[in-house]
Structures are given as C-alpha cells and as structure tokens.
Amino acid sequence: METRKRKAEHIDISLRKDVQARQVETGFEDVHFVHKALPEIDKQELDLSTAVFGHTFSAPLIVGAITGGTQKAAKINSTIAEAVEELGLGMGVGSQRAAIEDKRLEKTFAIARKKAPTAFIIANVGGVQLVNGFGAREVKKAIEMIEADAIAIHLNSLQEAVQPEGQTNFKGILKKINELAIELDKPIIAKETGAGIAAEEAKRLESAGARGIDISGAGGTSFAAVEYYRTKNKGSSFQSALGDVFWDWGIPSAASLVEVLQTVRIPVIASGGIRSGVEIAKAFALGTSLTSLSCPVLQTAVKSVEETADMLSLLIEELRTSMFLIGADSVQKLKEAPLVITGETAEWLEMRGFAVKTYAQRGRSNSL
C-alpha cells in the first residue's frame, strides 16, 4: 500500500511540477556533428532499424521505466504499449515490487504485454530489493508477469538517500546481481535512474553478468527533485532541503555514456534527458545500442495513444533528418560519423582519461 501510494505521488509530481535538472546539463550540447554538404544519400531511403538483445527495433528508441501498480498507472502502461507496438519500438515498465508482493496489482503491468504483443518489453525490479529479500523467485515472477524480453535491475541510491522512507542498505548488490545472472535466462540490464553510471561500476556490472547497461545520467528528470516536492508537500522542510541540495547530483548523461562505452562490450542504453532525435543520433554516433526517454512520454501518455505515437514519431523523424545531414544511410553508419566533443564534457572525459579526439578524426585521412 505504502509503495503504491509513493509511486502514485511520483507520477502526480512529475506531471504537475518541473522536475528536470536545474543546472546540470546532459552534455549532449557539447557533442557536435560535422555537417556534410554532400550527403550523397536519399532521405527517403534511410534504414533506422537496429538489432540488439536478439530483437529488431524499427528505430533505436524505447520508452524508459515509469510506472505500474495503480489504475492510472495501468492506463499509462497501456497507452505507451499501444504506441510502441504501432511503431515497432520497446518499453520498460516501472518497478514491479508492489505487484510481486500483491498479486491483485499484476494486471496493471501485464496490460503492457497485452497491448504490445510483439514489442520488446523490459521488466523492472530495484537492486536494493535484492538486498532486502528478493531473489530469483521474485524476479522470475516479474518477468513472467509481462512475458518480458529482459529485466532491468534499477540502481537508485540517490532517490533512496533523499526519500524519507528510503532503503539505504546497498551492501552486496553486485553479488546479488551476479547470482541472478546465473539463474535467469533473460538478459539483465543494470539501470540507473538519473544519476549516471561511471566506467568503474560499468566494468563491475559487466563482470557480474549484466548483459546491458542503461546509464540514465544526469541532465533530465531528477529524482531528488521529485522527492523535494513530495516531502515539501508533507511539510518536511528537513527532508525537502536534502532533495533541493541533491537536485543536480550525478554524472551528466553524455559523459557517463562515453565512459561506459569505452569500458564495456555489452550493449549500452543512453538515457537521462534525451529530448530530441538529434540527441538520439549523437548517442548512436558515440556507440550506444539503444536510447530511451521517460518523463516526456509520461506527459503524453496521460493524454492519448495518438499524442504519444506522434511524439515518438517526431523524435524518429528528427533522427532521420540528422542521419541525412551527416550522410549516414543506416544507424550502423551513424557509428562512423565524426563528432567533435567540446566544453565541460570534453574536460570531464580528458580528466578521467578517456579518448575524445578519435571521434573527431573519424574518416578524415581517406577523405582529405
């Protein structure tokens, strides 16, 4: 009951208040394409499809984990599912903890598979739940509930730390992920929720058996902001002050993405503040396998399937246009496109010892 109420408040606050990062930016504004005046391709003939986790997506985009558990959440999951099924994309459901504990809530998640029989659907359980009693049995239940293609284990230390009822014992999570990876036949995707993943953690997650990493970096939705409003509404100034200070905490998405991509071999999902098809294209050119966005989809999902599908279609058209302007006729070709990384993102990556110049020099020697 408590979990359901909290989740409903997260949705209401995310819809009513501005819970986007205030000062930290994703860093995608520091990543620049080199415009090609001679693209030598036809914009109408571009291939946006991509294959990852054994599934073919019509475009490299999924809707990130948001919700489940309540009537309103069921409607949101249903709407997103219909839109992604129509467009050949994928989606994640929100944390399934409440439904694992109370069977009556299963249908608020299962609706996603019902409305999206062929889409790639990702189940979701909190990493901290694995420390607090969940094991393979519970995680398998989450997967079966929605006939999931993969399971996201979300890592949300920032949120747990600033929320009054947060579970803050994260000791032994990696070992639990490792045990699960051995038991499960579906891929585990280790997923942050807006604070990013560093290279060191990515390496450990890969070694523990994660088959994908969703970096979900800073610069988009801030869970500290959501908790700020939630605690403020309840009159807890001590707790809301904590949310306020940590509002912009985290590794900006573009920096996190490059760190992880230069460190692991498993597929990486770029998320956290992705708001346009140009950013999707940039993430792809950096080497990501899929991109994901959540909060903007929540805003349309409470309206209609049509508005949700229109919004996702616009992102895909922006991606297509970016590809055309840099002469990439497939998403694979995008990965060879030259990129110039400037500003704070370049500084961050250089300080942390990651190669930046190689992106800018792609294809130069043969074409000049």
Ligand X SMILES: Cc1cc2nc3c(=O)[nH]c(=O)nc-3n(C[C@H](O)[C@H](O)[C@H](O)COP(=O)(O)O)c2cc1C
Interface contacts to ligand X, rule CB under 6 A:
10-11, 14, 64-67, 94-95, 124, 152, 154, 191, 193-194, 216, 220-221, 271-274, 293-295, 298
Query: At its nearest, how many Å lie between ligand X and the CB of residue 6?
Result: 10
CB of 132 to ligand X, least distance (A): 16
152, β-bridge pairs: 124, 189
Q: How far apart are CA 27 and CA 126, in angstroms?
A: 27
Burial 331-362 (b: 16+ CB within 10 A, else e): bebbeebbbebeeebbebbeeeebebeebeee
Q: How far is the CB of 294 from ligand X (least distance, A)?
A: 4
152 vs 337, beta carbon nearer ligand X = 152
* In contact, 6 and 165? CB cutoff 8 Å: yes
Residue with the CB atom nearest ligand X in the bound state? 220
- In whole angstroms, the minimum distance from the beta carbon of 238 to ligand X comes to 24
**Cβ-based nearer residue to ligand X, 243 or 338:** 243
Looking at the Cβ atoms of 254 and 326, the one nearer to ligand X is 254
CB of residue 221 vs ligand X: minimum separation in angstroms? 3
**DSSP-derived secondary structure letter, 290:** E
Least CB distance to ligand X at residue 14 (A): 4
Of 225 and 337, CB closest to ligand X: 225
Nearer to ligand X, 243 or 272 (CB): 272
Give the length of the chain. 368
User: Going by DSSP bridges, is the β-strand pair 339-341/31-33 parallel, antiparallel, or unpaired?
Assistant: antiparallel
- Hey, what amino acid is at 164? P
Cβ 43 to ligand X shortest distance, Å: 27
Take residue 96 and report the two structure tokens written for it: 């399934």
Tell the burial category of 56 from Cβ atoms under 10 Å away from its Cβ (0-12, 13-18, 19+). Answer: exposed
Nearer to ligand X, 14 or 262 (CB): 14
- Nearer of residues 23 and 365 to ligand X, judged by Cβ: 23
DSSP string, 22-90: SS---SGGGEEE---S---S-GGG-B--EEETTEEESSSEEEPP---SSHHHHHHHHHHHHHHHHHT-E
